[in-house]
Structure 1
């Protein structure tokens, strides 16, 4: 099969493309801003999808930056991918959504992810919607940010005074489920993709921190303070310690789907929980530095431009 991957240079997309390359059974076409295709450009998408049998729609963002809004990427982008698929004769689409994406919940991230699901459901294409929990692995935000935080700050704020639970999904497991869906091996049109282990959020943080060598003091913080932190972090950090959408995720837990959806067949479900070996493989170098601040990054770009050094544009997440 020839399969297009939107968001193919993002976290999950590049792992999916790499797996296709390693297996050699399917041909992957990477589609992203870095390959010159905007997610809402139907003509460019149709050209990229030409000759493909299916599309893995992995493009998404967890915070809005300039013109890259939730509406544009999640809703308009999905509508454009569907139209392009029809033009190119693509028969199947697999949408990577979020476990608790739903309407009327007060979070633009969750609501636009749900709107994308609804577009796929009425698209007329063969489809599978994967409502996935938090995915972790090399290049993620979860292990990366917890690691850098506990290495940098003496105090780590856990979310709320009542522990919520999570079922983290290893990225290699998520990729296996995506490939099964692309090949039409998942019977249900919408399934919940969750890791094999459910644990309290604080326990997940401590497991990562222990392997990262962090020694922070863990202090429970009210949800409103985490939401405030997210607002500040989005304004001042290149990649925020926690985004507003992530604050909501952490506040309600990520261990059950909303609306309810079945899991895939037992032999297709993720086999791993928050696995120590997979955590080690995802650990970044060092902690947070001044270069993680937007103003410092902006000044560095100005210096490079003045010296004539080109800067590669940032890709989507």
Structure 2
């Protein structure tokens, strides 16, 4: 018997695929709302026929949001971008979009709302990314006071943008950029554990109106994560410390080029190597704050580690892939 219908905005993305599967496993029917329906066709495989539906919705279009929310019992907002490009801005995706979804949900009487934000979200942050995430949180809570806010650290899994990106860089570059000396700390959390947290919040009245910070079982510095990647792909590379005052202006220039200058802004040339917003984020540790509610408070206690999961998908960056024989230390 179904627990009800959950509309997942941004459900065709990295975390969305895990979320859809976990929700179905726990008895929820899922409606995946996304801009480009063709990118989510495989998400139907997250559950038996009839349990996962896909609809077109744009967070800038209230009418499409209303259609996606018809008959929904709960809402999950996973919409997010890592860099700005063309019409895709942090303010539009993280703040205005979240506000429009929450207002539409409130108008339909939906009180179970899970907003997925990020550790570091703050109205006082110098990072446009973190500032827009905080604005999104505030807008959601204003429309739906019972909303649950989830703030993960960097999320890892086979489709992630962190470990895959730096592993690819390590394959072709002799030097790895240790921004700010590589001392920033992270608490990587597995996408499957984030999906479990979302599902737990969707079914818990006790989670309503609360904010949780989601981190994995271990904390690493940027340099230590580089070492983990290099060990997995069996490469030896030098790390070069780059001060923030050097990297920051370069990041803002790259971010501006990808946002405003065609064909970069058309999405034809991939993603920027680094943005000013990302540099600002690296100035602060990305770990669960002392005293914060965590995964354990949502009943998620079996946490996957970087060492257990990441080698399963970074093997493709080894010289001979799955047939690579590790070199002797």
* TM value normalised by structure 2: 0.79
Which of 184, 194, 197 lines up with 1:164 in the alignment? 184
Is residue 147–residue 214 contact of structure 1 (8 Å, CA) maintained in 2?
A: no
Corresponding residue for residue 17 of structure 1: 20
> In structure 2, the residue corresponding to 1:272 is in which secondary structure?
coil
Measure, in 1, the Cα distance between the counterparts of 2:70 and 2:252: 41
Residue 90 of structure 1: which of 97, 103, 110 is its match?
110
Going from structure 1 to structure 2, the CA distance change for 1:232 and 1:156 (only over 3 Å counts) comes to: farther
C-alpha distance after superposition, 1:171-206 (max 9, x if no partner)? 111111111111126536111111111122211121
The superposition leaves residues 78-124 of structure 1 with CA deviations (integer Å, 9 ceiling, x where unpaired) of: 11101221344423110000111001222211111101111122213
Q: 1:198 aligns with which of 203, 219, 225?
A: 219
Give the corresponding residue for 2:161. 141
CA contact (8 A) 1:230 1:242 kept: yes
Residue 173 (str. 1) matches residue 193 (str. 2): yes
Deviations 1:48-67, CA, capped at 9 Å, x for gaps: 11111111110011211111
Q: Report which structure shows greater RCO (CA 8 Å, sep ≥6).
A: 1
- Secondary structure of the structure 2 residue equivalent to 1:147: helix
- CA distance in 1 between counterparts of 2:301 and 2:156 reads 12
Call closer, same or farther: CA 1:241–1:210 in 2, change over 3 Å. farther
Give the corresponding residue for 2:72: 52
Q: Which residue of 2 aligns with 1:6?
A: 9
Deviations 1:190-243 (A, max 9, x none): 111111111222111210221123322112111233334534554465123333
The one of 226, 230, 245 aligned to 2:277: 245
Task: Mark the CA change 1:125 to 1:284 in structure 2 (over 3 Å): closer, same or farther.
Answer: farther
Provide the rounded CA distance (Å) in 1 between the counterparts of 2:20 and 2:132. Answer: 25
Q: Greater shift after overlay, 225-234 or 88-97?
A: 225-234
Which consecutive unaligned segments of at least 5 residues does structure 1 have?
A: 288-317
Residues 223/282 of structure 1: CA separation in 2 closer, same or farther (3 Å cut): farther
Whether contact under 8 Å (2:215, 2:295) holds in the other structure is: no
Aligned residues: 285
Asked if 2 retains the 8 angstrom alpha-carbon contact of 1:193 and 1:263, the reply is yes
Q: TM-score, normalised by structure 1?
A: 0.82
Q: Show the counterpart of 1:275.
A: 306
Q: Secondary structure at the match of 1:252?
A: coil
Q: 1:192, 1:157 → 2: CA distance? A: 28
Checking the alignment, whether the CA contact within 8 Å between 1:93 and 1:125 is kept in structure 2 is no
- RMSD over aligned Cα atoms: 2.4
Deviations 1:280-311 (A, max 9, x none): 23438459xxxxxxxxxxxxxxxxxxxxxxxx
Instruction: Check 1:274–1:158 CA distance in 2 against 1; reply closer, same or farther (3 A cut).
Output: farther
Is the partner of 1:283 in helix, strand or coil?
Answer: helix
Does the CA-based 8 Å contact 1:193-1:270 persist in structure 2? Answer: no
What CA deviation, in whole Å up to 9, does each residue of 1:3-55 have, x standing for no partner? 1111111111122123334x161111111111331112111111111111111
Unpaired stretches in structure 2, ≥5 consecutive residues: 38-55, 259-263, 319-329
